Amino acid sequence: MLSRAFSEVLAVLAPPICAGCRGVLPRADSLVCGDCLRALPWLSGARCPRCALPAHS
């Protein structure tokens, strides 16, 4: 685990980038920004816990 000081220096040199829109993230521990997170389609119904395909009855 990186120390907080090292993480902050790294964020200045290489800002964290959103995996969805490539925008700069406000926090280094996030993978996507709030806008991209809200735009993700959420799966509903019974799903396979391994691959998330619809479960067969």
Q: Residue 56's pLDDT is what?
A: 80
Helix, strand, coil % (nearest 5) of the chain? 30, 5, 65
Residue-wise over 19-28: b if at least 16 C-beta within 10 A, else e? eeeeeebeee
Q: Is this structure's pTM higher than 0.85?
A: no
Enumerate the domain spans of the chain: 4-39
Closest by alpha carbon to 28, among 48, 2, 52, 54? 2
**For 10-54, how does the pLDDT look when each residue is reduced to its tens digit (9 = 90+)?**
777 878 899 999 999 987 788 999 999 999 998 888 999 899 899
Q: Could you give the angle at the alpha carbon of 17 between the alpha carbons of 51 and 14, nearest 5°? A: 130
